[in-house]
Amino acid sequence: MTKTSATAIGFSAILMWAFLALLSTAAGKIPPFQLTALCFLIGGMSGVVSWIGRPHVITSLRQPWPVWLVGTFGLCVYHCLYFFAIQNAPPVEASLIAYLWPLLIVLFAALLPGEKLRIHHVIGAVLGLVGVVVIITKGFTVGFSTGLKPGHLMALACAFIWSGYSVFSRRFGHVPTDVVAGFCLITALVAFALHLALEQTVWPQTSLQWLAIITLGLLPLGLAFYAWDIGLKKGDIMVIGASSYAAPLLSTIILVAAGYAIADWNLAVACLLITLGAVIAAKDMIFKTSP
């Protein structure tokens, strides 16, 4: 697998995450931890199914405890903290803070062996961040006037947790992607325990809601994590990090197309900023020159 193809696979995870908001909306009023448990169970089992006919996978699951700690912590704690963040701070502000993780990936990746932080990586990531600010705040209308709340700190922790998980995945490049199925199943168990302790069970009422949940588990909260793992371990991690700002943009475009949101000038500006940032960050890959 070439570095370019692995980067493309990593970007496919971003495309799948773009459908997260639409599918979550279509799933109905399912409690967040219950929805997380169901989706991660489906996502984990889809990975387990891929083990059929490959008996050597069982051996590859015998990884050192730091691998399981980082993987489970990244998937499980991030999603649990994020749900608590949007419940304990204005959701727009929490989302904006949490979405510092692409910029942090670009910065932290410079500490990896063989990687070097260049000015165009930083410019691309910052332009993407500004684009996200525009699209989430509807044109810089959020002033954080509510004061510092616990949700703000949780959202900041989310940014560091997901960027840390992503960069550490590169450090564990020798670990097969099959292990991600285990991370998903453990996350499902933790989310289910939190659901039983904190929520009242609400089952989907229509076949459309069930279809949305199944699709969530198979794609944004399933296949996307496997693609992300491949992209981070074998692709250009800085390009993937800067390109991750496309997720909220694409998500908004999809919501507009589905009739859940209205297109305005903020969307156009964000589109321009995020696209420009991604092109600048990936200029070495896009504009390759022969020696």
Whole-number Å distance between alpha carbons of 286 and 188: 39
Whole-number Å distance between alpha carbons of 133 and 138: 8
Whole-number Å distance between alpha carbons of 142 and 173: 40
What's residue 109's pLDDT? 85
What's residue 259's pLDDT? 82
Whole-number Å distance between alpha carbons of 125 and 137: 18
DSSP 77: I
* pLDDT tens, per residue, the chain with 291 residues: 899 999 999 999 999 998 988 898 889 889 989 999 999 999 999 999 999 888 888 888 899 999 999 999 999 999 888 888 877 877 767 777 888 888 888 888 888 888 777 888 888 888 888 877 777 676 656 555 556 778 888 888 998 999 999 999 988 888 999 999 999 999 999 999 999 999 999 999 999 999 999 999 999 999 999 999 999 999 988 889 888 888 888 887 888 888 876 777 777 787 788 778 777 877 776 665 444
H helices of the chain, where? 3-17, 20-26, 32-49, 56-60, 65-72, 78-87, 91-98, 101-109, 119-137, 150-171, 179-198, 207-218, 224-234, 237-243, 246-257, 265-281, 283-286
What's residue 291's pLDDT? 42
| Cα-based torsion angle of the residue sequence 46, 226, 77, 255 in order, rounded to the nearest 10 degrees | -90
What's residue 192's pLDDT? 96
The pTM (predicted TM-score) of the whole model is 0.85
